[in-house]
């Protein structure tokens, strides 16, 4: 099975909760879901809750989250996000690249979920 984000809209405002509205395919099932959080990434993670539990997928613990751009980059640089995860005794990291820093984090999360899905079979 494979996980694919078909659509994702994130809205944020100063002193407002962020929200995420997603359409997600896991294997051959398509989910529509939404979530709220204190930032766009948090809202996205909340939106994953139902699709993941329905698919019997668990989320590892998020240990660290780093966002950076290449040296000499400017405001329009590509962002790289590296997320450190922990599951039982095991630690690992995944990375995501996107021009939008929240989507770089989302990309890294999807990569981690695909690794777990592929390990499951
Ligand atoms: N809470 C923030 C957000 O949702 C960060 C997530 C800390 C890693 O964007």
What string of DSSP letters covers the chain?
Answer: --EEEEEEEEEEETTEEEEEEEEEEETTEEEEEEEEESSHHHHHHHHHHHHHHHTT--PPEEEEEEEE--TT--TTPPEEEEEEEEETTEEEEEEEEESSHHHHHHHHHHHHHHHHHHHH-
Q: Give residue 51 CA to ligand 1 midpoint distance, Å.
A: 20
Q: What is the pLDDT of residue 111?
A: 98
For the chain, give every domain's residue range.
3-120
Domain 3-120 top-level CATH class = alpha beta
Pocket probe for ligand 1: among 42, 68, 93, the residue whose CB has the most ligand atoms within 8 Å is 42
Residues of the chain with pLDDT under 50: none
Taking only the tens place, the pLDDT of each residue in 11-27 is 999 999 999 999 999 99
Q: Give residue 89 CA to ligand 1 midpoint distance, Å.
A: 24
Q: What is the pLDDT of residue 121?
A: 63
Ligand 1 site residues, Cβ closer than 6 angstroms: 37-42, 65
């Amino acid at each position: 099975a494979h996980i694919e984000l078909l659509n994702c809209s994130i809205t944020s405002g100063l002193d407002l909760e962020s929200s995420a509205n997603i359409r997600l395919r896991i294997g051959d099932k398509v989910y529509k879901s939404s979530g709220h959080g204190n930032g766009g990434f948090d809202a996205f993670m909340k939106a994953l809750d139902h699709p993941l539990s329905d698919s019997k997928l668990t989320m590892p613990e998020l240990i660290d989250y780093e966002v950076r751009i290449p040296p000499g980059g400017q405001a329009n640089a590509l962002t790289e996000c590296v997320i450190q995860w922990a599951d039982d005794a095991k630690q690992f990291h995944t990375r995501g690249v996107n021009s939008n820093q929240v989507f770089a984090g989302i990309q890294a999360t999807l990569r981690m979920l695909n690794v777990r899905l592929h390990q499951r079979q």
